[in-house]
Structure 1
């Protein structure tokens, strides 16, 4: 039997892969994606309300945009948030992603709520995803090739890891009463187990594709990164970056709160009735 070749981080490919800085910046003129047959949109009241409104995705992730298109939200405005994702990681992972996704949504809301040219947003959808190793370390995007290889080796060798995605949906209130918006938030968890038999050669070959260079945890389960995964427990699209079923529920909840004039009228009527009863006493 031939001796298994050990990989050295110093090995250089014939053609050097793109840098991690390049992977983090979208190409200026990316090739057009292959067009697939688009499913008919879901005829749900909340989605119908949004057809003529501004639907803003506070993320430049093409994967999140594609997932929202699957439920009929194809008229998206992509406005990446300028929120600095530097919150302390002392809290639990789901609290961390919830706080980050909320910060992203609020930053875009404050930027767009008084947009004179385009009008107020109909809804803002923000999300944040992190991978948490079996040792409890929050993993975000790899910083270098060496870091990337070490990250994937850790995910392979230390047991199942967890993927957390938080989703935040915001919409301005018709009444503009404080704070001026309705907000709904949720998070989802998926357990992912790498195949422990995958070789170092495969890990290095995958790293040098740079597919996972701009992804939390360093891999894309919807692409070539699927070869690393043995099985998952939970939502697949949560690992991709947006739990679609959860997102749809949040959209329905927040849009139900958007027109709160009837609620205010009801509250005013109840208050008037209470005052009248007090006057009679």
Structure 2
């Protein structure tokens, strides 16, 4: 078995949520954040956008590591519009107000650069939110949780009370679809479960 503390993957992201998700399937990582322009390109659809960023992050991170390298990006999409991280309280309130009482899509792109080349996937999950009052939105902002979250909410945090149901991958909404990610890692020779499961 692999030494459980020895990294087997480079994570090209500073996201603690992605690191925790990988740890939950026994994949220790070395974190190598990359700084990329994350602007949406002209006429770029949301799925193409998250896949492009995931691939760019994996490629950029792999330049600094000999390990297989994972890049990922998540977008909250409402009526074909990508909702990024809110700039301020007003924008966060507008985002949550628009999402409340409706369904939206969360798209997560994952790419892994390694011996098998650059492999990637995009996973779509539908999230249905209950109606949310202006008071609840203001109180949620005051917790500080929405500040750096796409769409202004964290499904794994306090905003779980707003989510009526999801159709698809819960872990993808958090930041990394584990079923699909595990398949990509296996194809790249990355062991799961701290080496108990090897390709």
Q: TM over 0.5: same fold?
A: yes
2:14 equivalent in structure 1: 60
Give how far 1:51 is off: 7.8
Could you list the per-position Cα deviations for residues 176-219 of structure 1 after superposition, in whole angstroms to 9, with x for gaps in the alignment? xxxxx7111001011001102x2111111001112011111110
Name the TM-score, length of structure 1 as normaliser: 0.64
Match of 1:101 in 2: 54
Once the two structures are superposed, the pairs formed by residues 64-143 of structure 1 within 5 Å of their partners are 64-74=18-28, 76-88=29-41, 90-110=43-63, 112-113=64-65, 120-121=66-67, 123-133=68-78, 135-143=79-87
Q: 1:220 to 1:89 in 2, by over 3 A?
A: farther
Q: TM-score, normalised by structure 2?
A: 0.88
Larger radius of gyration, structure 1 or 2? 1
Residue matched to 1:161: 104
Gaps of 5+ in 2: 191-199
Larger relative contact order (C-alpha < 8 A, sep ≥ 6)? 2
In the alignment, which residue of structure 1 is the partner of 2:194? none
Q: CA RMSD in A?
A: 2.0
Alignment equivalent of 1:211, drawn from 145, 156, 169? 145
The residue aligned with 1:182 is 117
Other-structure match for 1:192: 127
Count of matched residue positions in the alignment of Structure 1 and Structure 2 = 190
Give the structure with the higher percent strand. Answer: 2
